[in-house]
Chain A
Amino acid sequence: MAAPPRHATMLSISNGDKPAQTQAQSQQGTLPQSPGLRVPSNRKTIYDRHLNRSRNAESSRASFAFLFGEMVTYAQRRVTGIQDLEKRLNEQGYPLGLRLLDLLFYRSTSTSSSALSSSSTSSSPPNRPLRIITLLHLIHGPLWRLLFGRAADALEHSVSPDTPNEYMITDNDPLVNTYISVPREMSMLNCAAFVAGIIEGVCDGCGFETKVSAHNQPTDLWPSRTVFLVRFGDAVMEREKVLERSGVK
């Protein structure tokens, strides 16, 4: 058991309404689930901070570029090949997608000028996406705006009858690739695999089992144009049919 004085200082709960009680508890050691809770010196835990800080608290593009550069370098350690590297980048993005989903909905419910364009009524909270199209619109618009400050450039459905489960989201100039030049011997690599992981996390979080991959589709005007190929699982497609029949929007 930790020494009481140290414990007592660490366990200061920022809410402040019951300091005496928590102190008493900590001295008896009755809070075993929080042995190492440390409160910052200004006594502001993450629970005391606001989640709506997007307006004037944007992070610097340069610091993001350096951070992302290091993430790519980190992912590159001991990889067996380009696919392995893309998989690692994807895995780095995936948990971010899960988190962003909750944050995105929180921000659009709390701010009446809703960030979700689909909801016409400003005050009512947005709906969870139930159908593929709603989900893809959520990614194409609000999610892209939350991450990159603008909507994605295109959203398409596969024209091939063999692959009705494939959708494509296009970004003409992905922010993550702005400063990246991929060496010629790795020309298949697209570091936006990280963003693909984010999309995958968002889809999975909403209950749409998906595989997302990022592909280079350069044009003369947009040399780093990237297409995110979203492939939904069979279970999702089956459910989609059921929902369509029962008229769920």
Chain B
Amino acid sequence: MALSLRNPTLINRDQHKMSYYFTILSPTDTPLFNIAFGTSKGGGDGIARFRFPETAQYMNQFIIHSSLDILEEAQWTNGSMYLKHIDTYPPAAAYITAFLTPSGARFLLLHQPPHLPSSTGSSGLGASSLLGSAGSTTRASSSSIAANPTSPQTEEAVRQFMNEVYENYVKTAMNPFYKQGMEIKSPVFRTRVTAAGKKWL
């Protein structure tokens, strides 16, 4: 938690800029594909700026994997492919949105709004109050899609993003040299996901 207070100036500069971490997990939870990017809406430059840049690389994966239990529960109550927002990790203000392909691959998108000056003070407190503060920040900046992880507009934008990734994933899966559960190494796929992120998020 101490890290969050270390460079508040940097955080303030990137206000309203959402950062994303997108990952594809196989049905047996093997990571198949990872990408980190930032919003391109509202003048964003598409570069991810996580709150804790030093640990983000590991923490993002950790947060995503920790939501898998909830995902597996939701999987059997909701038949949609797009499961919307399923989990929040308050200490990092990370929101997890999930999409399940019929063959069991999980698309998980972590979005992390930037620190707002109003919420930095409470970051050392308990989880519940943080959740509350996160709610208040979303209300405060609800005009911007990219800044509000749970608004219907965001859900819709993420849906479009997920559908586009799904199309490319199906194309990958139809490649006779690709076997289910293999890491997706295609640079074309990466380009396509980046483009989808740019387009919708």
Chains A and B touch (C-beta atoms under 8 A apart): yes
Residues of A within 8 A of B (CB): 11, 13-15, 17-18, 22, 31, 33-34, 37, 45-47, 49, 51, 95, 98-99, 101-106, 109-110, 125, 127-130, 205-207, 239, 243, 246, 248-249
With A15-B195, A98-B103, A130-B76: A125-B81 Cβ-Cβ less than 8 Å: yes
Complex contact A47–B187 (CB within 8 A): no
- Expressed in whole angstroms, the minimum distance between the Cβ of B25 and any Cβ of chain A is 14
Query: Secondary structure at chain A's binding surface: helix, strand, loop or mixed?
Result: loop
Complex contact B104–A205 (CB within 8 A): yes
A99 to B79, CA, bound (A): 19
Complex contact A101–B102 (CB within 8 A): yes
Among the interface residues B82, B103, B179, B180, which one has the most CB atoms of the partner chain A within 10 A?
B103
Residues of B within 8 A of A (CB): 27, 75-77, 79-82, 100-104, 163, 166-175, 179-180, 185-189, 191-192, 195
With beta carbons under 8 angstroms apart, the residue of A14, A102, A128 that contacts B188 is A14
A22 to B191, CA, bound (A): 11
Complex contact B173–A102 (CB within 8 A): yes
The chain B residue sitting closest to A129, CB to CB, is B79
With A45-B188, A47-B188: A98-B180 Cβ-Cβ less than 8 Å: yes
Complex contact A46–B102 (CB within 8 A): no
The chain A residue sitting closest to B77, CB to CB, is A248
Complex contact B188–A15 (CB within 8 A): yes
List of A residues within 8 angstroms of B77 by Cβ = 130, 246, 248
With A31-B187, A130-B79, A248-B77: A51-B104 Cβ-Cβ less than 8 Å: no
Q: List 18 A-B contacts (CB under 8 A).
A: A13-B187, A15-B192, A37-B186, A37-B188, A45-B188, A47-B186, A95-B179, A99-B173, A106-B167, A125-B81, A125-B82, A127-B79, A130-B77, A205-B103, A205-B104, A207-B27, A207-B104, A249-B79
Complex contact B179–A206 (CB within 8 A): no
Complex contact B104–A47 (CB within 8 A): no
With beta carbons under 8 angstroms apart, the residue of B100, B168, B186 that contacts A34 is B186
List of A residues within 8 angstroms of B175 by Cβ = 46
List of A residues within 8 angstroms of B195 by Cβ = 15, 17
- Expressed in whole angstroms, the minimum distance between the Cβ of B167 and any Cβ of chain A is 6
Q: For the A-B complex with A13-B187, A102-B101, A128-B100 known, give 13 more contacts whose Cβ atoms are closer than 8 Å.
A: A31-B187, A46-B171, A47-B171, A47-B188, A47-B189, A98-B173, A98-B180, A99-B173, A102-B102, A106-B167, A130-B77, A205-B104, A248-B76
Complex contact B174–A46 (CB within 8 A): yes
